[in-house]
């Protein structure tokens, strides 16, 4: 249910319990009349506090409605929506949802899909905790298509839902592989969130120019279950890391997290695998930056 858990409006519909605005005349979710004299607005508003403007009322009253309101909060008219115009689809019912929704307004289930991967998420959060990496407000979502992070929305981490709810059993992956995949994508999210760091001399010396042309194939194979440093590619932690500086950082971040930030163990293993000095510098630079964040130095 879409309740006012964040106390954004301080009002919920008496009939259905979903969040409403005191300025509204009708509940946009169940259509019940909630008009209060001296409180409700006599003029249709575009977007009262706590709500966003997504479209004008279908009935033409002049008021604004937010996806996916079933009714206009100003005139009570029914609204129609096209699901495909919104950011994603609910992993349970397939209807349109926005990235900021916790509950699907159509089926009432978890719109993020996190309830389908609780074990992997618990593991990742635990690994971040023991690695002493403070959460940066990231949000993991199951969505159709490729896994990834949009630089314009660095806190949104999308995981291909076919790995979890694939039509074919062979499309699904184990929870341990899912942990590695999430940790890798969190590396992209962390980097985009701290993009200014990529302009520093120490970062560039370790990882290179991260905004160079990106030509990595979407179907490139990555063994996200691997926890040991590869013996190949002396200047990178894995073969996939050699594709691009951004992937290099994401793989370095993944190993750092899944190995719980144990630098002695990591550096010793890289020595055994005859890695070049630059690989040591990558982990040391990440470790230094994280330590600076904990100390408030950056």
Residue 214 to residue 262: CA distance in whole angstroms: 31
CA distance 76 to 160: 38
Percent of the chain with pLDDT over 90: 58
Q: How confident is the model at residue 270 (pLDDT cuts 50, 70, 90)?
A: confident
pTM: 0.76
Predicted local distance difference test score (pLDDT) of residue 52: 87
Q: Rg of the chain's alpha carbons, rounded to an integer?
A: 23
* Domain residue limits, the chain: 1-81, 115-295
The pair of three-digit structure tokens given for residue 215, joined into one six-digit string: 């030509």
In angstroms, the first-to-last Cα distance of the chain is 40
Containing 276, the helix (H) or strand (E) segment is none
Write out the E strands in 95-228. 96-97, 139-143, 156-160
The token pair at 200 is 């520093």
Specify the pLDDT at position 298: 47
Task: Give the β-pairing of 88-89 and 55-56.
Answer: unpaired
Instruction: Give the pLDDT confidence of 204-226 residue by residue, as tens digits.
Output: 999 999 988 777 665 555 666 66
pLDDT in tens, 99-150: 888 888 778 889 999 999 999 999 999 999 999 999 999 999 999 888 999 9
For the stretch 136-149, pLDDT in tens is 999 999 998 889 99
pLDDT (0 to 100) of residue 145: 85
Residue with tokens 């909060």: 73
What letter would DSSP give residue 160? E
Residue 5's pLDDT is 66
Cis before residue 68, ω within 30 degrees of 0? yes
């Amino acid at each position: 249910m879409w309740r006012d858990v964040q106390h954004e409006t301080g009002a919920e519909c008496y009939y259905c319990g979903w969040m409403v605005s005191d300025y509204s005349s009708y509940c946009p979710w169940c259509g019940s009349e909630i008009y209060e004299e001296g409180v409700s607005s006599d003029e249709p508003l575009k977007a009262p506090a706590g709500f966003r403007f997504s479209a004008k009322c279908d009935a033409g009253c002049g008021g604004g409605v937010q996806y996916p309101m079933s009714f206009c909060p100003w005139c009570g008219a029914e609204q129609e929506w096209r699901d495909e115009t919104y950011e994603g689809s609910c992993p349970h019912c397939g209807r349109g949802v926005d990235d900021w929704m916790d509950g699907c307004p159509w089926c009432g289930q978890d719109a993020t899909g996190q309830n389908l991967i609780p074990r992997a998420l618990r593991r990742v959060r635990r690994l971040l905790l023991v690695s002493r990496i403070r959460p940066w407000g990231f949000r993991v979502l199951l969505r159709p298509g490729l896994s990834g992070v949009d630089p314009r929305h660095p806190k949104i981490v999308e995981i291909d839902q076919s790995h979890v709810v694939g039509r074919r059993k062979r499309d699904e992956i184990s929870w341990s592989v899912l942990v590695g995949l999430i940790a890798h994508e969190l590396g992209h999210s962390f980097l985009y969130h701290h993009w200014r760091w990529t302009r520093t001399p120490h970062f560039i010396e370790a990882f290179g120019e991260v905004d160079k042309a990106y030509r990595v194939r979407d179907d490139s194979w990555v063994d996200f279950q691997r926890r040991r440093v590869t013996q190949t590619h002396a200047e990178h932690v894995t073969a996939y890391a050699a594709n691009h500086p951004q992937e290099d950082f994401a793989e370095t971040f993944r190993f750092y997290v899944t190995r719980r930030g144990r630098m002695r163990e990591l550096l010793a293993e890289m020595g055994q695998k005859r890695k070049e000095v630059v690989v040591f510098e990558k982990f040391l630079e990440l470790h230094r930056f994280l330590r600076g964040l904990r100390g408030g130095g950056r």
